[in-house]
Amino acid sequence: MNYRHIFHAGNFADVFKHLLLARALEYFQQKSKPYFVLDTHGGIGYYDLQGDQAVRTAEAEQGIVRFAQYSSEEPLAGAYLNTVRQLNEEQGKLRYYPGSPVITSEFLRENDRLVVCELHKEDAETLKNTPLGRHKQVQILAPMDGYQAVRAQLPPAEKRGLVLIDPPFENTTEFDDVVSALEQGLKRWQSGSFAVWYPIKDELKTAAFHRDVGALPGLPKTLIMELNIRTNDERKGLHGCGFLWINPPYGVVQDSEHLLPVLCKTLAQDKGANFHSRWLVSE
């Protein structure tokens, strides 16, 4: 496993996934009953955008830096952007970027719970040594295969919540592994919300992934949301990404109608930028 997210931290894909994640957590907070979050691929938690790896690609400049500048007054992005700003209060500039477990931890109330997994040994050690490791509502399972955690951690005692599946997609079997994990997860927690982030590189593979998920027995309502920031050109790296979201919170469904155009307009890199959403399984 050679993938290191630090090279891509804060890029357009992070803004897309973390903004929608934050909105989902805000909706979970609206009810008093506790909720549970399983983050299957947690990474290292905190990312230094001024580090050598991040500077080498400078992807954050076209992601969170641009979004924070041009969408600072966007009300639906307020909680997400505040989380980023709080991490940089003493810096005077945007230097650090929070990964998904850090963002989730900011939304936990006293009885809410987060379980974070990370398989890569070096990243697992880094994650355990962050302030997250001292958070009483956070359990870090590392090194741990997040797909195994889907089987081991579900159903949660809290009855409601979210499973975030955000793998590096380095392995050629990753899409198949995700489908298998979803099948196992739904057997254990049919009412759970499962959010799967995926890169858009090969449209045929993406379509096959949607087809395979759609063929799962008894699949609940499932929404697909996708964002492409430029015309597909493999020489320029990743151009698009998506969320396949089983049992998406109603509020996220409504918000996406506004947020996807905002994300596309703010993060577009050429005239080929576009977005769309559709139900794989309708409500």
Which amino acids are annotated catalytic?
A: 166
Q: How far apart are CA 235 and CA 223, in angstroms?
A: 30
- Give the Å distances, CA to CA, from 236 to 9, 11, 154: 17, 14, 39
Compute φ and ψ for 15, nearest 5 degrees: -60, -45
Contacts of 164 (CB under 8 A, 6+ apart): 21, 37, 38, 39, 40, 100, 104, 195, 197
Give the residue ranges of DSSP H helices in the chain.
12-29, 52-57, 64-70, 78-86, 100-105, 121-128, 146-153, 174-188, 203-214, 250-267
Contacts of 61 (CB under 8 A, 6+ apart): none
8-state DSSP, 92: S
Query: Exposed, middle or buried, 72 (CB in 10 Å: 0-12/13-18/19+)?
Result: exposed
Percentage helix, strand, coil, to 5, in the chain?
Answer: 45, 20, 35
